[in-house]
Structure 1
Amino acid sequence: MNIKISTIVAFFLVSLLHAQNPLVTHMFTADPTARVFDGKLYLYPSHDIVPKEGVKAPRFCMPDYHMFSLEKGSTWKDHGVILDQNEVPWGKKDSNGMWAPDCIKKGDTYYYYYPAQPEDGSSFRRIGVGTSKSPTGPFKWEKNYIKGLDGIDPGLLLDDDEKAYLYFAGDKTLKVAKLKDNMKSIDGKAIKIQGIPAGYVEGPFPFKYNGKYYLTFAHVFTDEGYTIGYATGDNPMGPFVYQGKIMDNIGNGTNHHSVVKYNGKWILFYHWWDISGFNKLRSMRADYMEFKKDGTIKKVKPTLRGIGAPTIGEKIQVDRYNHIKNAKTAFVGGNEPIGWMVCDTQMMSSVTFNNVDFGDGSATKMIARVSSGQRIGHFEVRIGDPKGKLIADFPVKYTGGWNSWETIETPMLEKVTGMQNIIVVFISEWGADKIVNLNWLQFQ
């Protein structure tokens, strides 16, 4: 096994479970399909792993599917493996090719669609389905793949009339098939979608907004690489009109996404590999998405801040800031799990983190994860702005060096309730280049 990748994974497995972006840090996840069922947000991604000995790297090595649900404000619960590659009734064993899935609810049943390499060799990938009475499974898997579908990346649309459509990719095109009421077979034949721009496309994800059908997809420009684009139409089977990009290329690798409305806000889910530094070991992320008045979509810029609204007992990754002044962020060092920190803090530098849920105000203390190579100064936590209500004050103490981390705590100075923006202000002597490194905060 490659030593560099092994080291990454060793750190990764003990890293923080409460984060904003990436959403999950205890394993590698990609191709996130987000769904809201009965007011709760679920994620159905694919799963990257480091290839076993004897499997040549780099390549995507994806043996199974996990799924996640959002608990509290920023904690994603891992419900474990819901389908292993060797449990696919019609699939080739040990193929390590469990690519992007989707899950949709019709009536009181959840339908989970996934691609896999068929044992009969009839196609590069086929698409199968399983059913459950719960969004977290267990699922009962159909013995055969869906006839008439040969491709990858199933994306589902359940229209207002309860008719369902399955979109998928293959042969550098996007296709769509209408499903029968049983959701396990297609009604007629799959057709090629018209109106999609030339170039490699995959990862179709459909949704409806203000009566219009939106088809989003991964689109590769020869001079840019993977982008997330979208087209709109008046019929779920097309034709569609290309409208532009939702997200620019963010690196030399893939992107794959979904779009969902949750708690009144639209969210784009996607993936990146900024933690591993290796584009075959990806991590799912999310950022808010906005529509313009004419129905077009504002381009989304990837952020570390993401969508989380941490609450009491959850870690606030302050390096996923909304605003920073006279300070920087960098990967942590020393004995910390892989992640980021706020560093190079100076006199009156600050970092702002919005949307922290203080709930009913029951928090009595604040905890911070810090490192410092000096002992002069302190940092304050205030509400709203640098002169806002002071709610906590931490002294700066020598921890053994800038890569030696300690967890410290201080009492809350004021009762704080509801959703608030916080700002951390760093104070020391003028001219100091470093006051303290700050990884995370937590209210308890």
Structure 2
Amino acid sequence: MKGKISTLGAAVVLAALLPTHAFGAEDAPGAPASAFRDQPLVTSIYTADPSAHVFGGKIYVYPSHDIPTDIPNDDLGNQYAMRDYRVLRMDRIGGKVTIGPVALDVKNVPWASQQMWAPDAAYRNGTYYLYFPARDKTKDKNGLGTFRIGVATSKSPMGPFKAEPKPIAGSYSMDPAVFTDTDGKSYMYFGGIWGGQLQRWAGGKFDPNGSDTDLGRNDQPALSGKVARMGADMKSFAEKPRDAVILDENGKPVLTGDHERRFFEASWMFTRGGKYYYTYSTGDTHFLNYAIGDNPYGPFKYTGHILKPVQGWTTHHSIIQANGKWWLFYADTQLSNKNHLRNVKVTELTFNADGTIQTIDPLQAR
């Protein structure tokens, strides 16, 4: 089923509650700037999927770099034809934002063919690491490559980054997010269904002729995002990826048919008060959610919504602590009103005394 994404109030919520084919949703009609809670960080380029970090006292945002294209919307995400990365830098939230030069281009990644989707970054021992998904040069039933996750390095957080000649061994799907715990161990969370191909790995190896969605298995446990501890070189997995399982209030895995709570893509991990907050997007219902666990592997108990639906098909986020506050970075389509041309935003995140997060409405003007 295809669904038109509404832009305001109850219409957005109604659209969010109806499962729609992800990347085939129609572009949204625009809302006036005054209708939005937050405004874009930059307007001269299109940005999405912001992974924010504090390095050396400054805030760096590693977003996707959306580009105009005439490719029609489809469920495989072909219209998301991004081919390079640009890093954003600011001294503080609300301050001037600097757009860096090209940090990495797909033409300089030996194993990749196209679609540089949502990246992340990490720092260790004087080196900055850029993690990114891209399609390799194989061909599946749709004539598209298999998503793998690569890594590139630089001595500067803005790049340029030099890619490793091969993707990370054992990596697949998309949306890498690297979390470093207080003991110094780092973990990569990754995976995305439908265009992200995670459903094709359900049997333990890639099925090039497999399903393009996870629909039709509503009474089965939902596909889980993946987590793997990183090797000391930050370029490899130290173990086989595990499932990051999300549990319901009864301690049972959330089901595929539970579109408001099940994992779809965009994992992000952070810790607060000794708890591990596993956050993610529900995709076709357009929520950002969080689930809480006691360790980096989970399981994680579903706890609630972080962000209600944005204008546009979906959103991808990150959460950091800076300047004594917590911040949510996300994206919508305010500038273009087109699902594949997005703009990054930031808003303050508020925690209740019990550690739960107050839900944010991006279409509730301040």
TM-score normalized by the length of structure 1: 0.60
Q: Any conservation in 2 of the 1:21–1:303 contact (CA below 8 Å)?
A: no
1:75 aligns with 2:96: yes
1:360-404: CA deviations, max 9, x gaps? xxxxxxxxxxxxxxxxxxxxxxxxxxxxxxxxxxxxxxxxxxxxx
Q: Specify the SS of the correspondent of 1:86.
A: helix
1:398-413 equivalences in 2 (<5 Å): none
Among residues 76, 81, 84, which one is paired with 1:64 in the alignment?
84
Counting aligned pairs with the same residue, the percent is 40
Q: In structure 2, do the counterparts of structure 1 residues 210 and 154 end up closer, same or farther at CA, with 3 Å as the change threshold?
A: same
1:278 aligns with 2:338: yes
Q: Which moved more, 1:167-176 or 1:190-199?
A: 190-199
Letter in 2 for 1:206: M
User: CA offset at residue 291 of structure 1?
Assistant: 0.9
User: CA offset at residue 200 of structure 1?
Assistant: 5.0
Distance 2:281 2:131 in 1: 19
1:13-33: CA deviations, max 9, x gaps? xxxxxxx71111001100001
1:258-303: CA deviations, max 9, x gaps? 0011100100000000121111111111110011111111112226
1:217-237: CA deviations, max 9, x gaps? 00146xxx2110011111101
Distance 1:140 1:134 in 2: 11
Q: Hey, which of these two has a bigger chunk of strand by percent?
A: 1
- Quote the residue 1:296 is aligned against: 356
Q: Any conservation in 1 of the 2:104–2:160 contact (CA below 8 Å)?
A: no
Distance 2:146 2:357 in 1: 34
Distance 2:235 2:312 in 1: 37
- Quote the residue 1:46 is aligned against: 64
Distance 1:135 1:83 in 2: 12
Distance 2:305 2:311 in 1: 15
User: CA offset at residue 151 of structure 1?
Assistant: 1.0
- Quote the residue 1:251 is aligned against: 311
1:169-248 equivalences in 2 (<5 Å): 169=191, 170-171=198-199, 172-195=223-246, 197-198=254-255, 199=262, 201-220=264-283, 225-248=285-308
- Quote the residue 1:35 is aligned against: 53
Distance 1:291 1:89 in 2: 44
User: CA offset at residue 134 of structure 1?
Assistant: 1.5
- Quote the residue 2:111 is aligned against: 90
1:329-374: CA deviations, max 9, x gaps? xxxxxxxxxxxxxxxxxxxxxxxxxxxxxxxxxxxxxxxxxxxxxx
Q: Any conservation in 1 of the 2:312–2:333 contact (CA below 8 Å)?
A: no
User: CA offset at residue 110 of structure 1?
Assistant: 1.1
1:86-125: CA deviations, max 9, x gaps? 1112111xx2x11100001122221110000012459631
Q: Alpha carbon RMSD of aligned pairs, Å?
A: 2.0
Distance 1:239 1:193 in 2: 6
Among residues 104, 110, 120, which one is paired with 1:102 in the alignment?
120
Letter in 2 for 1:290: T
Aligned length: 279
Rg comparison, structure with higher value: 1
Letter in 2 for 1:81: V
User: CA offset at residue 131 of structure 1?
Assistant: 1.4
Q: Specify the SS of the correspondent of 2:107.
A: helix
Q: Any conservation in 2 of the 1:203–1:256 contact (CA below 8 Å)?
A: yes
Letter in 2 for 1:236: P
User: CA offset at residue 252 of structure 1?
Assistant: 4.6
Distance 1:160 1:250 in 2: 33
Letter in 1 for 2:265: E
- Quote the residue 1:111 is aligned against: 129
Q: In structure 2, do the counterparts of structure 1 residues 33 and 304 end up closer, same or farther at CA, with 3 Å as the change threshold?
A: farther
Q: Specify the SS of the correspondent of 1:214.
A: strand
Distance 1:125 1:234 in 2: 30
Q: Specify the SS of the correspondent of 2:150.
A: strand
Letter in 2 for 1:201: F
User: CA offset at residue 150 of structure 1?
Assistant: 0.6
Q: In structure 2, do the counterparts of structure 1 residues 301 and 56 end up closer, same or farther at CA, with 3 Å as the change threshold?
A: closer
Q: Which has the higher contact order (CA 8 A, sep 6+)?
A: 2
Letter in 2 for 1:180: G
Q: In structure 2, do the counterparts of structure 1 residues 75 and 56 end up closer, same or farther at CA, with 3 Å as the change threshold?
A: same
- Quote the residue 1:155 is aligned against: 177
Distance 2:171 2:139 in 1: 14
Any unmatched runs of 5+ in structure 2?
A: 1-37, 192-197, 200-222, 248-253, 256-261
Q: Any conservation in 2 of the 1:167–1:176 contact (CA below 8 Å)?
A: yes
Q: Specify the SS of the correspondent of 1:226.
A: coil
Letter in 2 for 1:141: A
Any unmatched runs of 5+ in structure 1?
A: 1-19, 306-321, 323-444
Distance 1:33 1:200 in 2: 18
Distance 1:106 1:210 in 2: 24
TM-score normalized by the length of structure 2: 0.72
Distance 2:226 2:139 in 1: 21
1:239-388 equivalences in 2 (<5 Å): 239-302=299-362, 322=366
Distance 1:256 1:279 in 2: 13
User: CA offset at residue 80 of structure 1?
Assistant: 1.6
Q: Any conservation in 2 of the 1:116–1:127 contact (CA below 8 Å)?
A: yes
